[in-house]
Amino acid sequence: MSFLFVALGGALGAVARYSISLIPVRTGFPILTLITNILGAILIGFVVGLTSNREGVSDNAVLFWKTGVCGGFTTFSTFSLEAHNLFAGKEYMMGSFYVVLSCLFCIFGIICGKKIALLF
């Protein structure tokens, strides 16, 4: 049964990710992937913060949100490909900026998500 919750959450996350990719942005910098990953980091931080110290939270709900939705929504493979493409295109500064920005903002996003969860 847990596979069903992961699959449903993953489908929802993938559709949300695809929806963001349809936003018309013209730039050489992969801003939409960065935004998606930051939002995903905030969401997973929120889920962990909301569910870690609460009894009565179903394991299936955690699987749905954390593994399913967040896993389907965030885009580590896309991030990796875009970083590789920037470096392969000799865009070393932009590639480095993208990697550092992604790591820092996503870690900060998890912290923010956990702090937001404390409000609930």
Contacts of 2 (CB under 8 A, 6+ apart): 59, 60, 63
What is the pLDDT, as a whole number, of residue 53? 79
What is the pLDDT, as a whole number, of residue 60? 94
Kindly report, residue by residue over 90-114, the tens digit of the pLDDT: 999 999 999 999 999 999 999 999 9
Q: Given pLDDT bands bounded at 50, 70 and 90, which one contains residue 5?
A: very high
Kindly report, residue by residue over 20-69, the tens digit of the pLDDT: 999 999 999 999 999 999 999 999 999 999 998 778 889 999 999 999 99
Q: In terms of Cα–Cα distance, which of 86, 90, 92 is closest to 33?
A: 86
**Domain range for residue 76?**
2-117
- Confidence check: pLDDT of 75 > 90: no
What is the pLDDT, as a whole number, of residue 56? 81
- Cα angle: 87, vertex 95, 114; to 5 degrees: 140
Overall number of domains in the chain:
1
Whole-angstrom Cα distance, residue 35 to residue 89?
22
Whole-angstrom Cα distance, residue 101 to residue 62?
28
- Number of Cα atoms under 13 Å in the Cβ half of residue 37: 23
Tokens of 91: 């865009």
pTM for the model:
0.88
